[in-house]
Chain A
Amino acid sequence: MTARTGARIKGGVGESTYRSDGIPKVDGTFIYSSDMYMDRMLWGATLRSPHPRARITKLDIGPALAMTGVHAVLTDDDVPGRKTYGLEHPDQPVLGSESVEYWGQPIAVVAADDPEIARRAVDAIDVEYEVLTPLTDPIEAERLDSVFKRQRCRRGAEKRRGMVAVEGYYEVGMQDQAPLGPESGLAVPDGGGGVDLHIATQWTHIDHEQIVACLGLADDQVRIHHSGVGGAFGAREDVSLQIHLCLLALHTGRPVKMVYSRSESFVGHVHRHPALLWYRHEADADGVLRRVEARIVLDGGAFHSTSSSVLSNAVYHAAGPYRCDSVSVEGVAVKTNNPPCGAMRGFGAVQSCFGYEAQMDKLADAIGMDRIEFRIRNALQRGDPLATTGQVIETSMPAVELLERVRGMPLPEEGASEDPRLLPGGTGLTTPGASVRRGVGYALGLKNLCFSEGFDDYSEARVCITPFGVEVHTAAVEVGQGLGMILTQIARTVLGIEDVVVYYDDTSKIGSAGGTSASRQTQMTGGAVLEAAKMAREIALTRGNGDELDDAGVWRGGELVTPMSELVGGKPIEYHIRFHHPPTEQPDENGQGNLHVDFAVAVHRAVVDVDQELGLFRVVQIDTVQDVGFMINPRSVVGQIEGGVMQGVGLATLEEIVIEKGVIKNPTFTDYLLPTFLDAPRIEVQVVEERGAFGPFGAKGVGEPPTVSSTAAVVAAIRDATGLELNRTPVRPEHVALAPVQAGRHP
């Protein structure tokens, strides 16, 4: 089958087209889920536990219900169907009844005439607790067998040892996805016992599955509509206010809207798992990696969410993109009374990378080998088995090329900046240029793409050629990454028709597209649109009796034989497809098998200026090379890489949810610090376009890899500047200023 190439159509693949939501998002006219409004709508609010662990001894909603303007106060008793929900294991109560297991857990929801009355009604609910001691130490939790999952990977002979060994212990703090759009939605009762929910989410169909179960309704009584999403990064994979909104709307018979405050958002979604990691790496004196041992403990918090999958991912990625024939990794995800953790960009691979890349530096130094050279010697290549799972890599794996390319990228000019704002300490004017030392650090990261471990990963799409242009229908969620534009470009290139509009259908109109997660939508929904568009084109050519298709109609031998009006005037051409990626396997008892469908690698070089005496630092530059398969939209790829790098820089330098005895101490943007533009380094991006095994035009997902290794690179650079061990991220000023200096600083 011959498809038209991008060169022949405006706005096709390979072009940096502009996205239709771009200007509205900049000028403020874009409708986010928090902007929705309906006449007669009520406002919802949530009563949350002020304790990380307690028994509820009294819950009297009477005083709240008695208030003027309050229309409903609902508790666990009002949940008609299954009382619990969860992405992989339904263990989380829709509303806590007998006990609460984390700080901020929902107990009751209110609908009232306005948000202020709703908040006051929440305060009026009479609730008493017997406060219990929370379990907050993950090691203690493991000892008590409070465990969500254990996962191991064992491969090769244990006795295969290297001459040189290094060990390390590493910690990763709890990062928040911090999407700028807080959780929000609008539920509208349909008058017949069903409900329409308009919601910012990452996967409408998996929300639907959980919502109908808890509401006790039939599938066709609930419709989930994708509404304007203000960022996600994993925070919207789990249900937050979806079920609450539907309950309130069905109970009151009126539309109900809810928007979390910024502080509420910090307890309203799951976070990146904090991790404790122990590593032992062994190599021969000539630099060949011989053995990797690791133990990984992830704190899953109070409820399961995706802890099992995040743990598996951390374990499978524990050795990184390096060859090694002898591996033993033991991982555990524990259940505590800390805030629940789940999906965040990188999904377990970030935590492992922080450990294995520190180890690779240590091991190179111990051998006396250049750090990049050591990585190149051991880097995974096509045809090698993945060190942990043994899966032979049959897709592109350009790790060596990435390392060679990044080594050749120019370093920034020597010497501290003349602009004091661009020195460590920034506008605080703490640091004279003479107090600055510069460090350089490298990290190479690996990320699986799409869903793994035997999961039936598919996406549905429908392509229609109509007299008014092409319609692409999907339930995939556009979270701000630019999916609609990608789908448009693919459809244009395949069909030769420029006039393409993407429709985000609700759950009743089309089947699942899978989640906007795992860097998968370009490959999966993009793949579905590619295949559906190819079929639609074939139908058009047959029906129009020609060999070419464009906006005008069907052509044969350079002449228009069937104008578009004639081609589809009577009946549009429509093709619907369910696209699957090649199947994967579940792991055996040693974590072995062909568990993943595809991988991408990225390398980062960080240049960081450090004021060691005050423990302040500024990331000057990040140079990165990423394996992207093929760039359907180059500007968008660079945007994803820049954003992903910044999220990694944030985890290295600033971003951590501080928890004391189960309570979040910094649930605001005043104290949960995200990098500002002044903290943003110059980012130089290069890509390697070695076509992937599947996915449209060989494209690979690009969202997660930039976040996997950028954190490790920044911390490596701070180590390089200071000679400190720095085994924890984010690095805090006191870790640098007050740490004892280690011997053997890297030259």
Chain B
Amino acid sequence: MEVIRPADIQEAAAALAENPGAVPLAGGTDLMVEVNFGHIRPSAVITLRRVEEIQELSRRRIGAGVTFRDLETGDHRALAQLARTIGSPQIRAAGTIGGNIGTASPAGDSLPFLAGLDARIELRSAARGARLVPWDEFFIGVKQTSKRPDELITAVLLPEDLPDRQEFAKIGQRSAMVISIVAACVFRWRGGRTRVALGSVGPTPIRCRRAEDMISNERNPGESALDEFARIVSEEVRPITDHRGTEDYRRHSSGVLARRLLERCLAS
């Protein structure tokens, strides 16, 4: 196996164009699992640790190489909350948001955050340069994205109008180091605008747009509005039953979780 060590983003994109079988390697926390199980046997890896352009972190631009350890203490409350739930301290020190996006697991912990904020994914290829893809055009199925084989994920871009309140929660069967059964993000702006996104309840992150519309019109939602909000969220998710949880439980707890997060937004 060949190891290619590009020094900057141009070299990295060029290396990927020249080596169609090569796999980008950042933290390796997903990649090595695939290798260890024999699911993939890459002919070459392109290491991204020395590519500085993707390590940059600002309020609206998160480099693909930023680790979850760094995000744990970052500006965005929900992003910090979700980062803390990922794996062990060792995994968080290695795993990157770009890797989480590239793997595109339905249980990817950062995905609800990106979906709820209408984030765009920045991709770069040697042939065509950079392009921005909205999250809902990027995640197209279970572990499937619209990223082309010659493209690298370089950053996540967040919108200008960031919410006033944001909260994240994740249901797993144990207290830490667990894959989510349901994960949820709720964002609320002054004035009532609300966004709700959930993970592990569909092939890609789910936005509950009917629930958003309904609750965005409620300036000070009371019990019945909150109940209605939870009910609609439970309707809008599209979960399945697997060894981690049942469809019914996921549907039920999606509503409960979304409501609790909204209450946290309203209270904080």
Contacts and interface: CB of A to CB of B under 8 A. Distances in A.
A665 interface: yes
Given A427-B176, A432-B260, A614-B256, 17 more contacts: A421-B175, A425-B169, A428-B85, A428-B180, A430-B260, A435-B260, A613-B256, A614-B253, A654-B174, A665-B242, A666-B243, A673-B174, A678-B176, A679-B174, A732-B173, A733-B173, A738-B252
A429 B170 contact: yes
Interface in B213-252: 242-246, 248-249, 252
A576 to B, nearest CB: 48
B168 interface: yes
Contact of A738 (B85, B169, B249, B257): B249
Interface in B54-102: 81, 84-85
Contact of B174 (A119, A613, A676, A734): A676
Contact of A734 (B37, B85, B245): B245
Main SS of chain A's interface residues? loop
A734 B249 contact: yes
Interface in A237-273: 261, 263
Nearest to A613: B256
B249 A733 contact: yes
Contacts of B38: 119
A281 B255 CA distance: 41
A432 B248 CA distance: 23
A426 B253 contact: no
B177 interface: yes
A428 B253 contact: no
Contacts of B178: 428, 673
A678 B175 contact: yes
Nearest to A430: B169
Given A425-B169, A671-B243, A734-B248, A430 B176 contact: no
Contacts of A660: 243
B43 to A, nearest CB: 15
Nearest to B241: A734
A119 B36 CA distance: 11
Interface in A674-728: 675-676, 678-679
A318 interface: no
13 contacts: A421-B175, A427-B84, A428-B85, A429-B85, A432-B260, A613-B256, A616-B171, A618-B175, A671-B243, A676-B176, A734-B248, A737-B249, A738-B249
Contact of A615 (B175, B243, B249): B249
Contacts of B170: 428-430
Interface centre among B36, B243, B245 (most CB of A within 10 A): B243
Nearest to A611: B256
Contacts of B249: 615, 733-734, 737-738
B211 interface: no
B86 to A, nearest CB: 9
Interface residues of B, number: 33
Contacts of B23: none
B196 interface: no
Contacts of B248: 734, 738
Contacts of B84: 427
Contacts of B174: 426, 653-654, 673, 675-676, 678-679
B258 to A, nearest CB: 11
A670 interface: yes
Nearest to A730: B173
A254 B243 CA distance: 43
Interface in B14-58: 36-38
A331 to B, nearest CB: 29
A261 B256 CA distance: 39
B115 interface: no
A671 B244 contact: yes
Nearest to B168: A429
A615 B257 CA distance: 12
Contacts of A732: 173, 245
A428 B167 CA distance: 11
A676 B174 CA distance: 8
Nearest to A733: B249
Given A261-B36, A671-B243, A428 B252 contact: no
Contacts of A679: 174-176
Interface string A421-458: 10001111110100100000000000000000000000
A675 B175 CA distance: 8
A658 interface: yes
Contacts of A673: 173-174, 178
Contacts of A618: 175
Nearest to B250: A734
A719 B4 CA distance: 57
Interface centre among A426, A432, A666, A678 (most CB of B within 10 A): A426
A432 B179 CA distance: 21
Nearest to A736: B249
A676 B88 CA distance: 10
Interface string B145-188: 00000000000000000000000111111111111110000000
Nearest to A678: B175
A737 B252 contact: yes
Nearest to A732: B173
A614 B171 contact: yes
A318 B81 CA distance: 47
Contacts of A426: 172, 174-176
A166 to B, nearest CB: 29
Contacts of A616: 171
Contacts of B172: 425-426, 428
Nearest to A423: B175
Contacts of A654: 173-174
Interface in A385-431: 421, 425-430
Contact of B257 (A261, A263, A421, A430): A430
Contacts of B181: 733
Contacts of B260: 430, 432, 435
A660 B242 CA distance: 10
A266 B180 CA distance: 23
Nearest to A425: B171
Given A428-B169, A673-B178, A665 B81 contact: no
Given A119-B38, A428-B171, A614-B256, A671 B179 contact: yes
Given A671-B243, A733-B173, A737-B252, A427 B179 contact: no
Nearest to B246: A734
Contacts of A613: 256
A678 B175 CA distance: 6
Interface string A655-674: 00010100001100011010
A436 B244 CA distance: 23
A10 B168 CA distance: 56
